[in-house]
Every structure is written in structure tokens, then in C-alpha cells.
Amino acid sequence: MKIQYLGHSCFKLTESTGTTIITDPYGGISYELPDHLKADAVTVSHDHFDHNNVKKITGNPQIFNTDGAYELPGVEITGIKSYHDKVGGRRRGENVIFKFRMDGIDVCHLGDLGEECTSELLELLLPVNILLIPVGGNYTLDSELAKEYVDRMMPEIVIPMHYKTRSLDMDIDKAEPFLNLFDDEDVDVCHKDVLEFSREDISDDNNTKIILMERTKDRK
């Protein structure tokens, strides 16, 4: 499977047979989505402008924005209800976490998750091989709470999202406070926007690897 980071909380996930999913397409921020993005499906974690720009995606995609179980050719999708804040959604509303089973790999996109890390939520999420997690704080998990999720979920790969970059004018933290919570040998600032994974890349014997991907136009 292939993961392309498009910025903010938006990824393009491509299964080996070609089925393509785009997560949380953004609008209204200080940079724009690339043109001509095409997908079979779009997942929307919550209805905020920086996560719900589905009109930008071509190909007449199916839109998934609620909890439940869904299927596409070669892909199983599970939406899990959660909260955008620590007070049961009373401040910022609900959030849908999406899990994708692609090429034998369990990928989890936490959306704008903001709630505490509970055993009840973890039971719904696990197992996870690749975790796409917000780390910028203020509107989502901050670095410390994101670290707790990583420690308790123990995925093989963690890819941070929803963090401040030199192109993003938003009052959230950079990725560094989160990265600094891990040993240097477990962090890879890869300067890439596309990565490929196979089931053989996923090993229970290794420590969790943190991979900081970069949107193409954020590369220096």
C-alpha cells in the first residue's frame, strides 16, 4: 500500500489493486489542496472547514463521515465514534476515527481526536499497524497525550499530522515537541511525501518508528 501526505490531516491511501481513499481534505487554511485529486472514497472525521473539503476531490467518490462498517474493493473501513475534546464533545463536537484494512495492514486515522486515552476507546481501535495521529494540540491531542496514545497502542509505524509547518498559519504546535518525546533512533524525519509499505515491513519485533512526512511544498 502507498501513503501520500497532502498536508494537515489529509492523506491519500492507495491499496495495491488501485483503490484510493483520501482522508480529511482541507480548505480555508494558508495553503490549498493539490488540483486534480481523484479518489474512490473520502473520509471526513468531522464537519470543520479544514477537514471537509470533499468538493475538491474528483472521481465521484463515496463519502464516509459517520461511524460504521464499510467496504470497497480490497479495503475494509471502520468508522469509530469519538470526541474532538476532553468534555464529551460539548466544546468541539464529535470526531470519527477511521480504520482501514489495506493489503493486510491496519491503518488508523485519528482525525481531530481530542479525548483522553481510555481503555474503552483503545479496545475499539486495536490492532493498529500504522497510526496517523494529530500532535499539534490546542484543537486536538497535544504532544504528551499523543505520546500516551502511541505508548498504549504500540503501532509499528506512527505518522504525525495536524502540526504547524512553515506554510501553515494556525495556532498549533510544530511536530518537534512530539518527536522529542522519543529516542532519536526511533525518529525518522524523512523529507518525503510518499511512502510504500507491505505486510513484510510490519514486524512486532521492532520498536515503534515515528516517521515525519512532509508535504512537497514544505520541503526546504
| Residue numbers of the domain that contains 48 | 2-218
Contact call for residues 37 and 23 (beta carbons, < 8 A):
no
Say which CATH number the domain at 173 has.
3.60.15.10
DSSP for 63-124, written as a single string: EE-SSEEEEETTEEEEEEEEESSSSTTTTT-EEEEEEEEETTEEEEE-TT--S---HHHHHH
The predicted pLDDT at position 205 comes to 67
> pLDDT 10s digit of each residue in the chain, 220 long?
999 999 999 999 999 999 999 999 999 888 899 989 999 999 999 988 888 999 999 999 999 999 999 999 999 999 999 998 888 878 887 899 999 999 999 999 999 999 999 999 999 999 999 999 999 998 999 999 999 999 999 999 999 999 999 888 889 999 999 999 999 999 999 989 999 999 888 876 678 999 999 987 765 4
How many domains are there within the chain?
1
The model carries a pTM of 0.95
User: Residue 11: left if φ>0, alpha if ψ -120 to 50, beta else—which one?
Assistant: beta
| 3-state DSSP assignment of residue 70 | strand
The predicted pLDDT at position 142 comes to 96
| 3-state DSSP assignment of residue 44 | coil
Amino acid identity at 196: E
CA trace torsion 150, 151, 157, 162 (10° rounding): 20
Contact call for residues 64 and 99 (beta carbons, < 8 A):
no
The predicted pLDDT at position 48 comes to 82
C-alpha pair distances (Å), 212 with each of 89, 127, 192, 195: 29, 22, 8, 11
| 3-state DSSP assignment of residue 177 | helix
